[in-house]
């Protein structure tokens, strides 16, 4: 899980830690949403009572914020991808040696790819950073 953090990313991480009191270094952007990955045991603390930490960060940044559990390895990949693309669903996920193939229906495939392949390219970067594998949608 190697990803470089720019200055704006450092600001996001510092604000997240200040509000939630949960330290993390994993965050990314997907579909105009800023997503933070925290260990599953700290998920409740990061969200806060009635999601008030998320609401406070969203008000400050004027962006949608989501907190998802950090994957512990390749065994969590299906839940990790479903957490990112929620509410869009997919039929099946196949993990091969050097690539991950997502099987989506026709309606969901368009939602997963996005205009000008924007969401697809964002997801490719996320999968490459977290798991070191190529990503395909069929």
> Within this chain, do residues 30 and 78 fall inside the same structural domain, yes or no?
no
Strand partners of residue 67: 36
Structural domain containing residue 110: 74-137
Same domain, 60 and 86: no
Tell me, yes or no, whether 44 and 87 share the same domain: no
**For the chain, what is the domain count?**
2
* Of the candidates 84, 70, 64, 72, the residue with the CA atom closest to the CA atom of residue 135: 84
Percent of the chain with pLDDT over 70: 98
Residue 1 lies in a domain: no
Residue 98 DSSP one-character state: S
Question: CATH number, domain at 127?
Answer: 3.30.300.20
Distance CA 23, CA 113 (A): 32
In a domain, 2, yes or no: no
End residue of a domain, out of 69, 104, 121: 69
Residue range 28-50: average pLDDT? 93
Single pTM value for the model: 0.87
Rounded to the nearest angstrom, the gap between the alpha carbon of residue 132 and the centroid of all alpha carbons in its chain is 15
* pLDDT given at position 14: 95
Mean pLDDT of the region 9-14: 93
Averaged pLDDT for residues 56-79 = 92
**68: which DSSP letter?**
E
């Amino acid at each position: 899980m190697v990803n470089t953090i720019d200055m704006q990313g450092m600001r996001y991480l510092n604000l997240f830690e200040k509000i939630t009191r949960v330290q993390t270094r994993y965050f990314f952007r997907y579909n105009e949403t800023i997503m933070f990955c925290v260990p599953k045991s700290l998920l409740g603390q990061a969200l806060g009572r009635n999601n008030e930490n998320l609401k406070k960060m969203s008000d400050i940044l004027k962006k949608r914020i989501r907190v998802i559990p950090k994957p512990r390895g390749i065994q969590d990949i299906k839940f990790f991808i479903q957490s990112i693309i929620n509410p869009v669903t997919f039929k099946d996920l196949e993990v091969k040696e050097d690539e991950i193939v997502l099987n989506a229906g026709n309606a969901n495939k368009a939602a997963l790819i996005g205009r000008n392949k924007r969401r697809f390219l964002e997801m490719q970067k996320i999968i490459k950073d977290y798991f070191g594998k190529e990503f395909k949608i069929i």
